[in-house]
Amino acid sequence: MIDIRELNEKIQIESAFVDLLMMEIGKVIVGQKYMIERLLIALLSNGHILLEGVPGLAKTLAINTLASSIDAKFSRIQFTPDLLPADLTGTMIYNQRQEEFTIRKGPIFANFVLADEINRAPAKVQSALLEAMQERQITIGDHTYKLEEPFLVLATQNPIEQEGTYPLPEAQVDRFMLKVKITYPTRDDERAILRENIAKEFPHASPVVNPKDILRARQVVKEVYMDEKIEQYILDIVFATRYPVDYGLGKLSQLISFGASPRGTISLAMAAKAYAFIKRRGYVIPEDIRAVCMDILRHRIGVTYEAEAENVTSEDIINEILNSVEVP
């Protein structure tokens, strides 16, 4: 039997650094609490994150600030149509003096990799990134190198611009644990942003956490208690995306081309545990599932041409499912 009270006390102690991290990020990023929470969920769940939003919403700045708040290696890759896989992973260089090939590692060899405007790179580059994201390793020539933990790909994409962009393959989008849509700040937040940017000095975040703290926290997140009823709730949501008729959602069967995969089920459970950890709780409640469900599943549900014709999005489908599936 699990002692929930004891587990709660442990989570309270172990999650203390979350407030410290959020305070440090808050020095630079005004508002956008939702985005910062999602970045922390990805960090604590060992999952990659895709941020989508119009230019100028501090997507890149938020990722930069998160990396600055953690004493870890950070690299930024600006994705462009002429980028080559070797620009990402590294390459073999012939050394004439020693008459042998030496390996020069690329920017992917870091703890935090910011893939800026990821949809601007062609398929070859995307496939090179895919191995790093899924296998946590890079192959250069005959050599395979394990990437240092924690390893996190934080990608951004601009949804409004289509010229010179390549839609991400479904297989790669599925590798992102979360796809988060960023919206405009409130009027008060924008006033604070304005003042911050025209002041004499722009604030900077300092390292307050080290990678070992993150790796330890990931193990603690796995200890967060999840009841069998919550597991059942997760399965009901995912299976409703595959077999909507079984859940009294027959009208959705014409709108869904494919449902969420088992990776979606795992991601939903892990993200809910991380969300409970951030909220300093030792157990998962249905509200945790509902809070992260949209970001976990929006890129894992395919919509049909009929849905597009009726302007129905995957988000509309998720909302319909959440409103219909019985909450434990």
pLDDT at 116: 86
Q: List Cβ neighbours of 1 (8 Å cut-off, separation of 6 or more).
A: none
Calpha distance 59→169 (Å, rounded): 22
**Domain chopping of the chain, boundaries:** 29-196, 222-324
Torsion angle, alpha carbons of 299, 302, 305, 311, to 10: -40
Evaluate whether 250 touches 244 at the Cβ level (below 8 Å).
yes
Instruction: Give the β-pairing of 152-157 and 48-52.
Output: parallel
Along the chain (328 residues), what's the average pLDDT of each consecutive run of 10 residues? 80 85 85 86 91 79 84 86 86 79 85 87 82 84 84 83 69 86 85 83 82 89 91 94 88 88 93 93 92 92 88 90 88
Residue with tokens 């796809």: 179
CATH number for domain 222-324, candidates 1.10.8.80, 3.30.70.920, 3.40.50.2300, 3.50.50.60:
1.10.8.80
Give CA angle at 234 (33, 43), nearest 5°: 35
Calpha distance 156→158 (Å, rounded): 7
Q: List Cβ neighbours of 305 (8 Å cut-off, separation of 6 or more).
A: none
Model pTM? Answer: 0.87
pLDDT at 61: 81
CATH number for domain 29-196, candidates 3.40.50.10490, 3.40.50.720, 3.40.50.300, 3.50.50.60:
3.40.50.300
